[in-house]
Each structure stands twice: as structure tokens, then as C-alpha cells.
Amino acid sequence: MTGLSASERQAALEKILIPARIVPVLTIDRVEDGVPLARALVAGGVKVLEVTFRTEAAAAAAKAIIAEVPDAIVGIGTVLNVDDLRRAQELGARFAVSPGATPALLDAACASDLPFLPGVATASEVMQALAKGFNLLKFFPAGQSGGIPMLRALAGPFPQTRFCPTGGIDAANVATWLAEPNVIVAGGSWLCPASDVRAGNWEIITGRCIAAMKQLRRR
């Protein structure tokens, strides 16, 4: 059973996400890429990382990053079910993220101390998450689900909610998303495209992170 209240779990998640501004969504195909990728991101000032459970290498890569890159704050994404949530906690993840949320997954997250960011795309899904005590939510897929106009519409009936939009976020629009009052952080994969990861272009990834963080600080 959890030792934390819903508000304490939310506060722990906010403490991680609010200073981050950007959370890169990492789909890692080769275990050996995990540590150098994480080091490249951290060197560029991007420390909160979401390693997605989308590949066979994901769990081992996340475990290696947690062990070898102490400055990285590692979360697990693409958490689809209760087993995924349990695996994320066993790996030592600092938080977990889902693209959506079933009642079973929300219940399991309520019974866990692991901070959890459930995914929503509709008003009904927001209501289901709020009913379980989650008011910090992932808006996914953000671009395809109505974008900023949808977030503004949700702000009316749900003023207590805040969001991490993911899906369709890139260097050109991330600052616009972050300017929305109910957005506290944005997620995306543009900082480390698969082509750069495959080629081991770690310095390019670091440079891209530095540029992105400088851009956001100017606003």
C-alpha cells in the first residue's frame, strides 16, 4: 500500500517536472545507446528523461542510465498496464507516464508511491483522472487532439488541471505551448532524433539541448 497521499504524489511529480521545461521522450533501440544519450542530454541541461517501454532494449537501457548517470532523473513512459507500472518502480524510475489511462492503471497508480502522469485527450478522460486524484496530466497526442485550442477549452471546466503536452511538439512551437497557463512542461522527441542516436551524434544532441534551453530562458 502507498504511504503517500494523492496530493503528496502530485507534489513530488511537480517538483520533478516544473523546473524541467522539456522532457525528451526516448525510444531506445540499443541498450548501449542509453548511457551516452542520457549523458548528452544532461550535458545540454536537460536532466528529466522519459524512457519509453516501446522497445526490447528499454528496460535495460533505463536501468543502465539510472545506475551510471546520477544527474539524470529517469521516468518510464508508455506505461500501458499494471505490470508496466510495477516494472517501472522495480527499475528505480522516479516517475511513470502513460499515453492514456484505464481504471485498473489509475487504481494501481493510486496504490503506489511512484509519481504518475496519466495521459488524457478528452474531457471525460480528464474527469476520470481527477476522480482518482490526478490533476497533473499528459495531453496526448497533443497536436492531433485539438492542440492549444483544446487545452484552452479544457481550462474552463477544469481550472485545477495542468498538463504536459506531448505529440507534435518541436523546436518551432515548444515555447508557444509552454506559454499556456495550464502547461507546466512539454514532452517530445525532437531533441534526440533517431538518426542522431543511431549515428552516435552525442555532441549534436547536446548542442540542440543547449540551444533549446537558452531559447526558453529568453522568454
Is 132 labeled as catalytic in the residue annotation? Answer: no
d(CA 167, CA 187): 7
| Active-site pick, 138, 180, 203, 214 | 138
**0.85 cut: is pTM over it?**
yes
- Using left for φ > 0, alpha for ψ between -120 and 50, and beta otherwise, residue 147 falls in left
Q: Which CATH number fits domain 6-217: 3.40.50.1220, 3.30.300.90, 3.20.20.70, 3.40.50.720?
A: 3.20.20.70
Size (the chain), residues = 219
Q: Which amino acid is at 37?
A: L
The full set of domain ranges for the chain reads: 6-217
Nearest Cα neighbor of 178 from 12, 13, 19 is 19
Is 8 labeled as catalytic in the residue annotation? Answer: no
Could you read off the pLDDT of 86-101 as tens digits, one per residue?
999 999 999 999 999 9
Could you read off the pLDDT of 40-72 as tens digits, one per residue?
999 999 999 999 999 999 999 999 999 999 999
| Active-site pick, 8, 14, 47, 50 | 50
Could you read off the pLDDT of 175-217 as tens digits, one per residue?
999 999 999 999 999 999 999 999 999 999 999 999 999 999 8
pLDDT value for 3: 77
> Is pLDDT above 60 for 1?
no
